[in-house]
A and B are shown apart, each in its own frame.
Chain A
Amino acid sequence: MRAALDVLSAVLLLTGAAFCVLTAVGVLRFPDPVCRLHAAAKAQTLGVLLILGGTACQVSAHHIVSLALVAVFQLATVPVVGQVVGRTAYRTGAVHRESLVADELEARLAEDERGG
């Protein structure tokens, strides 16, 4: 039982760490803030969840509640932050618009500006 839990927790911790590394690679290599947000919002969230899972295998039931709370708040806040930062990045021109395959928001914003 103990050994099985140790193996499970090792697998979870290492996979989680791997996703955090992937996040770092994405943040470094992606060209603009919104692409980096993709990495931060997804790979990072999964990495943190896996690490929390791995930790939960090693601590007493008493602490698992707090770990679960961390997971809940992580899942609840990350998409909101992603949207707010993404919106700001787009509107302040931090996005490489010319490299986009398609951009349907640009036309809409221009139209709104003309309309007042």
Chain B
Amino acid sequence: MTPANAGPGQPRRPRRPAGRRLLALVWLWLLWIMLWGSLRATVVVGGLLVAVGVLTAFRMPPMRNRLTLRPLRLVRLTGHMLVDLAVSAVSVGWAAVRHGPRAPAAVIEVELAENSDLLIATTAYLTTMTPGTLVLEIDRERRLLYVHALPVPGQDAVDAQRRAVSAAERVAARAIRDSENRRTF
């Protein structure tokens, strides 16, 4: 669809997938050691073997796009996410007590501006964490999110939720740059 997806004949980054696989290996290895909570030789060696085994058995599709992460903005993104989670927990709890079985809900279509798997996934994630919204359906082709919103007393609230999803998308796009993205910044 986009030039970055055009095919395997991409010059300049033949070694990227190997680097990413190494990163995955190190993460799995660390995870194993953290789960065991010890540095005994059997755990360390066994962890390496398990990590290699998992990566060979479950091949991930190669990602050909170039990612630029902005650490400071990622931290801000995480902070936003935690605050949103707290607010949404309070709001959904209040809705449960206040409205209960007659909670007014709506399914809203939101058009996305970005065109990258990772950004759409991040937006969907943030949307589920933000107050009142839960992603029901992702239409990757048309770049549409279908969001279940609760509580939605009227049309004003529908528009407000639509704007909230777009805002989440902008926060994500500011923290992550993806060469697959059609938009140029």
Contacts and interface: CB of A to CB of B under 8 A. Distances in A.
A6 interface: no
A46 B85 contact: yes
B31 A37 contact: no
A87 B137 CA distance: 6
Interface string B96-129: 1100111111111100000000000000110011
A39 B92 contact: yes
Interface string A74-105: 01001100110011001000010001111111
Contact residue range for chain A? 35 or more
Contact of A104 (B34, B37, B104, B109): B109
B35 interface: yes
Contact of B128 (A19, A47, A49, A83): A83
A71 to B, nearest CB: 11
Given A30-B103, A46-B85, A103-B107, A62 B37 contact: yes
A67 B1 CA distance: 42
A56 to B, nearest CB: 14
Contact residue range for chain B? 35 or more
A43 B100 CA distance: 15
Given A100-B107, A104-B107, A106-B107, A42 B85 contact: yes
A82 B106 contact: no
B152 A102 contact: yes
Given A105-B107, A105-B136, A105-B146, A69 B35 contact: yes
Interface string B67-100: 0000000000000010001101100110111001
Interface of A: 19, 22-23, 25-26, 29-31, 34-35, 37-39, 41-43, 45-47, 49, 62-63, 65-66, 69, 75, 78-79, 82-83, 86-87, 90, 95, 99-106, 108
